[in-house]
Structure 1
Amino acid sequence: MPYARISQARKKTVGSRQTLRAVERGQAKVVFVAADAESRITNPIVQAATARGVAVKVVPSMKELGRACGIEVSCASAAVLED
């Protein structure tokens, strides 16, 4: 299951703004991006993560990513801050 790491993480960010901020601050260990999210939202996150050497995992669904993060709404991106 591609969502196992994010759902089990003790510290994580949920949402595009928080995820981008965590990547820029060097806090993100792994970034999850939903394949069905708009590229104008996810591209800056992927570019920032790639530039900083942070692993990017593409998951199929915004809805499932939100559920894995423990929220009731869809989520375009999230990041694990520590395991």
Structure 2
Amino acid sequence: MERLRSSKKRIIGLKQTLKAIKNGTVNIVYLANDADEPIKNSILEECRGKDIEIVQIDTMKKLGEACGIDVNASCASILKG
């Protein structure tokens, strides 16, 4: 989780994460277990068949804190490179 906070190549949020997955630039996706099911399903569906590590985080609050932001986050990702 420390890697998520310190990485300069991170993105936070559903739209940015989905776009990066489609572009093939994501290495790791962090997904909050308490995010809405449609959000989780869209991320998991987009990752299917791609070599992307998926890390489950207990809550959106914890994921937001791990990202160093003051709001909840449903998902975040680390970019390749």
Query: Which whole-Å CA distance do the structure 1 matches of 2:49 and 2:7 have between them?
Result: 23
- Report the counterpart of residue 67 of structure 1 in structure 2: 65
Runs of 4+ in 1 over 2 A off after TM superposition: none
**Structure 1 alignment gaps of length 5 or more:** none
**Structure 2 alignment gaps of length 5 or more:** none
Compute the RMSD of aligned alpha carbons: 1.3
- Report the counterpart of residue 7 of structure 1 in structure 2: 5
Shift of the alpha carbon at 1:29? Answer: 0.5
CA contact (8 A) 1:63 1:74 kept: yes
Task: State the one-letter code of the partner of 1:15.
Answer: G
Query: Which whole-Å CA distance do the structure 2 matches of 1:51 and 1:44 have between them?
Result: 14
When the two structures are superposed, what TM-score results if normalisation uses the length of structure 1?
Answer: 0.88
- Report the counterpart of residue 46 of structure 2 in structure 1: 48
Shift of the alpha carbon at 1:5? Answer: 2.4
Query: Any idea what SS the aligned residue of 1:29 has?
Result: strand
